[in-house]
Structure 1
């Protein structure tokens, strides 16, 4: 990944995700924040997502747009770590969003509740 973080990337989420997957594969003794999260396991990754979601909500309440951006970026990064845990590329999320596009949120949620109810 280039150290020039101002140059546009066609899909920055995919680029970050690929780096996450690379760091996931680092060997013993190689240091990386991402590797340390994977080494600590799923519960640590989930805890970080919860922490970052809370910090994003607090930033939203605080009303400082720069803080919202900073915290939202942290949250998205940690969501990408979770996707990497399951080896789900960002495209799977894009596909789900495309599926939902143009569907009322109320209708979409109701359809999920109906299908969840039919599984029991």
Structure 2
């Protein structure tokens, strides 16, 4: 993942943390955080299903749109669980390095 791509994810993560620390009236992020883990998990599951349906239907623009929703809800889950985004990125890098080493 390029630094540019990481930057947008980091920006989104920071916004979620900022909303948690300084709630904004009418914010969907605050709604999710206020409702708690069960609501976040429900929305994450719904979004995963919507990505799968979009893929099954072969609609690339819908796959992208629903994937963005899925990533957003995943970032909300990470923030709500006090897991830094860097931990996810490090895990992805670790898996990539492992995959490159075992593909010879």
TM-score (norm 2): 0.84
* Structure 2 spans left out of the alignment, 5+ residues: none
Q: How many residues align?
A: 97
The answer to whether 1:42 aligns with 2:37 is yes
The runs of at least 4 consecutive aligned structure 1 residues that moved more than 2 Å come to none
Secondary structure of residue in 2 paired with 1:99: helix
* Structure 1 spans left out of the alignment, 5+ residues: 1-7, 108-120
Who is 2:22 aligned against?
A: 26
Q: Mark the CA change 1:97 to 1:10 in structure 2 (over 3 Å): closer, same or farther.
A: closer
Secondary structure of residue in 2 paired with 1:88: coil
Would the aligned equivalents of 1:14 and 1:89 in 2 still touch at CA under 8 Å? no
Greater helix share, structure number = 2
TM-score (norm 1): 0.73
